[in-house]
Amino acid sequence: MKLFLIAGEPSGDALGAALMEGLKALAPGVQFTGIGGPLMQAQGMGSLFPMEELSVMGLAEILPKYFHLKRRIRETAAAIAAEAPDAVVTIDSPDFCLRVLAIAKTANPALKTVHYVAPSVWAWRPGRAQKMAKHVDHVLALLPFEPRYMTDAGMTCDFVGHPVTTQPVASEDEASAFRAAQGIAPDAPLLLVLPGSRRGEVERLGPIFGAALKQVAIPGLRVVVPTVSARAEQVRALVADWPGAPVVLDAASTPPDIKRAAFRAADAALAASGTVSLELAAAGTPMVIAYRLNKLSEMIISRLLRVDTLTLVNLVSDTRAVPEFLGEDCQPAPVAEAVTSLLAGGPARKAQLAAMELSMQRLGRGGEAPGLRAARSVLAAIG
């Protein structure tokens, strides 16, 4: 059996590698071609071209590379036609992947196609599912409530579990060692602050988070700010006048186990909206979520939203336990009040801990590994 896989982001590379490992266990002799990063290549797939060429986001980044990306779309579709695989599995990166599938499926309507990571049509733009169904036969969903949206659009879909449930969680000893290494007392209240990984996010959220921290009246509060290497200098300048003697953890010099220990050591977190909420939930760290876009984007998205929360812990647990401040509601005073409440303990903290545990259960913690579940689903879908 031969499969053509496409991933365009590091997160997709991780999903693809786990899927490939599962497929090799269930279907010995399976062959892989396509596009992937170092993790997928380590599983035995040569990449048609460097995956990094597809890792672009935002209009300003895409426009200069538009014609190059168009050429890569045509090249990838041509490679699928030449390889004649038993199926094509695309992993996230819908702007690239679905355009490739449109060409490949038009050239060969019998081609089996699978897309890994359902689009968030439950949140906004539900029409994307119908458009996707023109070129995709089967979908692998990360969230348990997503399959019905895909099947309603005419595709088959399986919930295969979320990879966050398989990521290591630091022990209490590792958390204590992190505090000691950073000069943070064992009983000091510790707050993680995560203002995002993109320049614009840090620029918009950083000042709000800083102003909120100045209103958090918790004696002895310490602050830890994990960040990606590209934002490290920006974040260091940002936190210079923050209270809590902030410790900046630069991903370039911070091993993953140290970041996990920081998550475990924290008493609470203030974070930008995104998948980091699931990382915090996996570590058992209660959180406050806040986010701002530019005014035009907020105006457009507010008219399109179909849900009353964007925090995945709230959605998966079917609660509203995580405080969320989005758009105009993202103001220092209410954010500070919510952070103070979590650090002080009480019913709100207990409710959130219960919601996080329920979310991890529903996302597959303790069950079969998502990569293996995804592999079973792919094999069943292509017969």
Question: What are the residue ranges spanned by the domains of the chain?
Answer: 2-161+367-382, 172-362
- pLDDT tens-digit series, residues 228-247: 888 999 999 999 999 999 99
What's residue 230's pLDDT? 86
Q: Please say if the pLDDT value at position 35 is more than 80.
A: yes
**What is the average per-residue pLDDT within 165-181?**
96
What's residue 58's pLDDT? 43
Q: Please say if the pLDDT value at position 100 is more than 60.
A: yes
Question: pLDDT higher for 56 or 78?
Answer: 78
- pLDDT tens-digit series, residues 338-375: 999 999 998 999 999 999 999 999 999 999 999 999 99
Lowest mean pLDDT among 53-62, 270-279, 332-341: 53-62
Question: pLDDT higher for 100 or 55?
Answer: 100
Band (127; pLDDT cuts 50, 70, 90) = confident
Q: Which of 282, 277, 271, 254 is nearest to 191 (CA)?
A: 271
Name beta bridge partners: 35.
Answer: 6
**What is the average per-residue pLDDT within 109-118?**
97
**What is the average per-residue pLDDT within 328-339?**
97
What's residue 55's pLDDT? 66
| DSSP codes, 38-52 | HHHHHTT--BSS-GG
Q: In this structure, what are the phi and psi dihedrals at residue 94, rounded to the nearest 5 degrees?
A: -65, -30
pTM of the model: 0.89
Lowest mean pLDDT among 15-29, 165-179, 290-304: 290-304
Decide: 165 and 159 in contact? Cβ < 8 Å: no
Lowest mean pLDDT among 57-61, 266-270, 339-343: 57-61
What's residue 319's pLDDT? 96
The residues, ordered by sequence, that sit 6+ positions from 201 with a Cβ below 8 Å of its Cβ are 195, 272
**What's the topology of domain 2-161+367-382?**
Rossmann fold (3.40.50)
As a whole number of angstroms, the distance between CA 20 and CA 60 comes to 34
End-to-end CA distance of the chain: 11
- What is the bridge-based pairing of β-strands 287-291 and 324-326? parallel
Q: Which of 22, 123, 64 is nearest to 369 (CA)?
A: 22
Domain 172-362 CATH class label: alpha beta
As a whole number of angstroms, the distance between CA 218 and CA 198 comes to 29
Fold match between domain 2-161+367-382 and domain 172-362: yes
Q: Which two tokens stand for residue 180?
A: 């000691």
Decide: 262 and 328 in contact? Cβ < 8 Å: no
3-class DSSP state for residue 63? Answer: helix
